[in-house]
Chain A
Amino acid sequence: GGGDTAGGGSDGGGGDAAGLSFEVAKDVALTGSPTFDKIKSAGKIRIGVKEDQPGLGFLDAATGERSGFDIEIARWMAASLGVAADKIDFKAIPSANREAALANGDVDLYVGTYSINDKRKKLVDFAGPYFITGQGLLVAKDNTTITSEKDLDGKKVCSATGSTPFQNIKDNFPKADAISFDIYTKCVEALTSGTVDAVTTDQAILLGYASQNPDKLKVVGEPFTVENYGVGLPLGDTALRTFLNTTLTDGNATWTKIFDATLGKSGTKVEQPKVDQY
Chain B
Amino acid sequence: MSAVLFDVPGPKARTRNVYLNTVTVIVVVGIIGFILFRFYESGQFTAQKWEIFTFPRVQEMFLTVIGTTLKAFAVAAVGSLVLGIILAFGRLAEAKWLSLPCYWFTELFRAVPLLILMMIMYYGLPSVGVKGITPFIAVVVGLILYNGSVLAEVFRAGIASLPKGQREAGLAIGLSNGQVLRTILLPQAVRAMLPVIIAQLVVIMKDTALGSLITYNEILYYATFLGSQGQYGSPVVPGLMVAAVIYVGLCLILSGVARYTEFKMSSRVKVVKAKAGIAG
Dominant SS at the A interface?
Answer: loop
Interface membership of A64, Cβ < 8 A: yes
Task: Flag A79-99 by CB within 8 Å of B: 1 or 0 each.
Answer: 000000000000000101100
Alpha-carbon distance A72/B91, docked complex (angstroms)? 58
Contact between chains at B222 and A189 (CB < 8 Å)? no
Give B177-224 interface residues, CB cut-off 8 Å to A.
213, 215-217, 221-222, 224
Contact of A182 among B42, B131, B213, B217 (CB under 8 A): B213
**Known interface pairs A6-B221, A213-B230. Does A61 touch B42 (Cβ–Cβ under 8 Å)?**
no
**Complex interface: chain B residues within 8 A of A183 (CB):** 224, 228
**Known interface pairs A54-B230, A188-B234. Does A6 touch B122 (Cβ–Cβ under 8 Å)?**
no
Interface membership of A153, Cβ < 8 A: no
**Complex interface: chain B residues within 8 A of A186 (CB):** 224, 227, 236
Task: Flag A103-121 by CB within 8 Å of B: 1 or 0 each.
Answer: 1100000000000000000
Contact between chains at A104 and B132 (CB < 8 Å)? yes
Alpha-carbon distance A58/B234, docked complex (angstroms)? 13
Interface membership of A167, Cβ < 8 A: no
Binds A, one of B57-65, B166-174, B270-278: B57-65
Alpha-carbon distance A51/B227, docked complex (angstroms)? 12
Binds A, one of B94-102, B133-141, B242-250, B253-261: B133-141
Contact between chains at B228 and A54 (CB < 8 Å)? yes
**Complex interface: chain B residues within 8 A of A104 (CB):** 126, 131-132
Give A1-40 interface residues, CB cut-off 8 Å to B.
1-8
Question: Nearest chain-A residue to B213 (Cβ)?
Answer: A182
**Known interface pairs A3-B215, A61-B229, A104-B126. Does A185 touch B135 (Cβ–Cβ under 8 Å)?**
no
**Known interface pairs A61-B61, A185-B234, A185-B236. Does A1 touch B126 (Cβ–Cβ under 8 Å)?**
yes
Interface membership of A268, Cβ < 8 A: no
Alpha-carbon distance A100/B226, docked complex (angstroms)? 25
Interface membership of A209, Cβ < 8 A: yes
Contact between chains at B55 and A52 (CB < 8 Å)? no
**Complex interface: chain B residues within 8 A of A212 (CB):** 230-231, 234
**Complex interface: chain B residues within 8 A of A60 (CB):** 229, 231
Min CB distance B240 to A, Å, is: 10
Contact between chains at A62 and B55 (CB < 8 Å)? yes
Interface membership of B37, Cβ < 8 A: no
Contact between chains at A1 and B122 (CB < 8 Å)? yes
B127, B131, B228 pick with most chain A CB within 10 angstroms: B228
Alpha-carbon distance A100/B60, docked complex (angstroms)? 30
Alpha-carbon distance A137/B42, docked complex (angstroms)? 25
Dominant SS at the B interface?
Answer: helix
**Interface residue count on the A side (C-beta < 8 Å):** 36
Interface membership of A145, Cβ < 8 A: no
Alpha-carbon distance A189/B216, docked complex (angstroms)? 22
Alpha-carbon distance A189/B133, docked complex (angstroms)? 32
Q: How large is the interface on B (under 10, 10 to 19, 20 to 34, 35 or more residues)?
A: 35 or more
Interface membership of B225, Cβ < 8 A: yes
Total A-B pairs, Cβ < 8 A: 91
Contact between chains at B42 and A193 (CB < 8 Å)? yes
Contact between chains at A3 and B135 (CB < 8 Å)? yes
Question: Nearest chain-B residue to A103 (Cβ)?
Answer: B126
**Complex interface: chain B residues within 8 A of A7 (CB):** 61, 225
Interface membership of B52, Cβ < 8 A: yes
Interface membership of A192, Cβ < 8 A: yes
Min CB distance B142 to A, Å, is: 13
Interface membership of B45, Cβ < 8 A: no
**Complex interface: chain B residues within 8 A of A8 (CB):** 57, 60-61, 64
Interface membership of B105, Cβ < 8 A: no
Alpha-carbon distance A118/B88, docked complex (angstroms)? 50
Alpha-carbon distance A188/B42, docked complex (angstroms)? 16
Give A175-228 interface residues, CB cut-off 8 Å to B.
182-183, 185-186, 188-189, 192-193, 209, 212-213
Give A53-70 interface residues, CB cut-off 8 Å to B.
53-54, 58-64
Question: Nearest chain-B residue to A123 (Cβ)?
Answer: B127
Alpha-carbon distance A160/B213, docked complex (angstroms)? 13
Interface membership of B123, Cβ < 8 A: yes
Contact between chains at B61 and A52 (CB < 8 Å)? no
Alpha-carbon distance A174/B216, docked complex (angstroms)? 35
Question: Nearest chain-B residue to A208 (Cβ)?
Answer: B230
Min CB distance B69 to A, Å, is: 13
Give B18-64 interface residues, CB cut-off 8 Å to A.
42, 52, 55, 57-58, 60-61, 64
Alpha-carbon distance A213/B57, docked complex (angstroms)? 23
Q: Which residues of B contact A (CB under 8 A)?
A: 42, 52, 55, 57-58, 60-61, 64, 122-123, 126-127, 131-135, 138, 213, 215-217, 221-222, 224-232, 234, 236
